[in-house]
């Protein structure tokens, strides 16, 4: 589920009914004014989905959704104002280095890059960058779905993300290959057209529901033992600062100047053996919000914690968010 607060709606998706999604009224959740006509997420029990709702670039007016299936992670692009999901396109998001395929995406964060990293990525400082933390799936497990104790951080410029979506969509509209999307049991061949990108960037009923064959690729800028569970990024002058949460309650404060110049400069033990959960968020220059998992048997699964310098203070357990000053 995800809250779309601008229109007071709750987005609810289920693996039932072939992966249906519905919009509910937040003021009266029994009301479901919109129900998706076609499947949106995987409809099998082991798969999971995380939904991000946002305006996206003005010229494209789209929503990006992250979907993590059995053995690979994907980004999904859907244009706003497309009730029939004709623009629905999946593209794999990979984080690989030599023989290490970090296939299990655990969290992403959309931010910017510091001056030095932006220059290396050949983008402007204000351009969007996607930061992702991945775990290595055990190659001996049936679908590489079992995480090992190895993790990585990968980065992607949104310009490259957009370009790879465009390339996959155009390839299908030029009649090459099939539409993919095996989880929807779609095996249809792509239909060749003479449509230009401006005509089809928000979809067409000719080639709708596309599973792109070419992945959005990146090599890790950081590889470590342990399981990364959360990520947030910010910039300070020319340097990019990334905070990485782990499954054993640590925060790894990481500096990225260039791709090959990434290091953990401080390690904070926030709460031993309590995983740092997804959705870390920066507030201003000196504050970050995070969530902790509960101790076993704790009826209140979230704590409110203030970290001021190195001082840790636990507050009321009924509070749901966690704040700290950096």
If we measure between CA atoms, which residue out of 179, 225, 170, 234 comes closest to residue 201? 170
Mean residue pLDDT across the chain: 77
* Inter-CA distances, 246 with 8, 266, 275, 317, Å: 33, 14, 6, 21
- Of residues 59 and 292, more confidence is placed in 292
82 within 8 A of 65, measured Cβ to Cβ? no
- Of residues 177 and 267, more confidence is placed in 267
What is the rounded average pLDDT of the residues 238-264? 90
Q: Rounded to two decimals, what is the model's pTM?
A: 0.74
The count of residues in the chain is 326
Residue with tokens 């033992």: 225
What is the rounded average pLDDT of the residues 70-89? 82
- Of residues 164 and 304, more confidence is placed in 164
Per-residue pLDDT at 18 exceeds 70: no
Most trustworthy range by pLDDT among 143-147, 164-168, 185-189, 196-200: 164-168
pLDDT for the residue numbered 231 = 93
Task: Provide the b/e sequence for 27-59 (b: ≥16 CB within 10 Å).
Answer: eeeeeeeeebebbbbbbeeebebbbebeebeee
47: tokens are 């798969």
Q: What percent of the chain has pLDDT over 90?
A: 30
254 within 8 A of 263, measured Cβ to Cβ? yes
pLDDT digit string (tens) for 214-235? 999 999 999 999 999 999 998 8
Per-residue pLDDT at 265 exceeds 60: yes
pLDDT for the residue numbered 325 = 41
**Long-range contacts of range 46-51, CB-CB < 8 Å, 24 or more positions apart?**
46/70, 46/145, 47/15, 47/183, 49/13, 50/278, 51/1, 51/2, 51/11, 51/13
Per-residue pLDDT at 129 exceeds 50: yes
Instruction: Report residue 310's pLDDT band, with 50, 70 and 90 as the boundaries.
Output: very low
pLDDT for the residue numbered 3 = 66
Instruction: Report residue 206's pLDDT band, with 50, 70 and 90 as the boundaries.
Output: confident
Quote the radius of gyration of the chain (alpha carbons, Å): 20
**Distance, CA of 260 to chain centre:** 23
pLDDT digit string (tens) for 150-180? 999 999 999 999 999 999 999 999 988 888 7
What is the rounded average pLDDT of the residues 87-96? 91
Instruction: Report residue 74's pLDDT band, with 50, 70 and 90 as the boundaries.
Output: confident
pLDDT for the residue numbered 51 = 60
Q: Which of 132-141, 225-234, 289-298 has the lowest mean pLDDT?
A: 289-298
What is the rounded average pLDDT of the residues 76-86? 84
246 within 8 A of 226, measured Cβ to Cβ? yes
Determine whether 82 is exposed, middle or buried from the number of CB atoms within 10 Å of its CB (0-12, 13-18, 19+).
middle
pLDDT digit string (tens) for 38-50? 666 666 666 666 5
One-letter-per-residue 3-state SS of the chain: CEEEHHHCEEEEECCCCCCCEEEEECCECCCCCEECCCCCCCCCCCCEEECCCCCCCCCCCEEEEEEECCCCEEEEEEECCCCCCCCCEEEEECCEECCEECCEEEEEEEECCCHHHHHHHCCCCCCCEEEEEEEEECCCCCCCCCEEEEEEEEEEEHHHHHHHHHHHHHHHHCCCCECCCHHHCCCCECCCCCCCHHHHCCCCCCCCCEECCCCECCCCCEEEECCEEEEEEEEECCEEEEEEEECCCEEEEEEEEECCEEEEEEEEECCCCCCECCCCEECCCCEEEECECCCCCCCCCCCCEEEECCEEEECCCCCCCEEEEC
Q: What percent of the chain has pLDDT over 70?
A: 71
136/96 Cα distance (integer angstroms): 10
């Amino acid at each position: 589920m995800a809250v779309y607060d601008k229109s007071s709606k709750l987005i609810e998706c289920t693996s039932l009914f072939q992966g249906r999604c519905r919009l509910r009224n937040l003021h009266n959740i029994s009301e479901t004014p919109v129900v998706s006509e076609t499947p949106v997420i995987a409809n099998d029990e082991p798969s999971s989905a995380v939904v991000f709702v946002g305006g996206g670039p003005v010229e494209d007016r789209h929503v990006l959704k992250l979907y993590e299936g059995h053995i690979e992670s994907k980004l999904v692009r859907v244009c706003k104002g497309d009730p029939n999901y004709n623009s629905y396109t999946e593209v794999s998001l990979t984080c690989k280095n030599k023989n290490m395929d970090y296939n299990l995406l655990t969290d992403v964060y959309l931010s910017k890059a510091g001056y030095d990293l932006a220059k290396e990525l050949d983008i402007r400082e204000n351009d969007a960058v996607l930061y992702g933390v991945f775990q290595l799936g055990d190659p001996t497990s049936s679908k590489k779905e079992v995480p090992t104790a190895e993790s990585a951080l990968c980065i992607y410029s949104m310009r490259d993300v957009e370009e790879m979506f465009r390339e996959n969509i155009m390839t299908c509209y030029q009649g090459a290959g099939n539409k993919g999307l095996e989880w929807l049991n779609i095996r249809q061949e792509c239909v060749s057209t003479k449509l230009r990108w401006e005509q089809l960037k928000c979809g067409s009923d000719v080639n709708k529901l596309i599973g792109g064959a070419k992945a959005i690729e990146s090599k890790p800028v950081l590889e470590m033992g342990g399981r990364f569970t959360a990520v947030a990024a910010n910039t300070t002058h020319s340097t990019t600062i990334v905070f990485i949460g782990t499954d054993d309650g640590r925060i790894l404060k990481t500096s990225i100047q260039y791709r090959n110049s990434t290091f953990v400069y401080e390690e904070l033990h926030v709460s031993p053996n309590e995983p740092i959960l997804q959705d870390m968020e920066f507030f201003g220059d000196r504050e970050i919000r995070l969530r902790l998992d509960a101790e076993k048997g704790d009826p209140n699964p979230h704590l409110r914690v203030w970290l001021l310098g190195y001082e840790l203070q636990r507050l009321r357990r009924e509070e749901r968010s966690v704040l700290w000053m950096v």
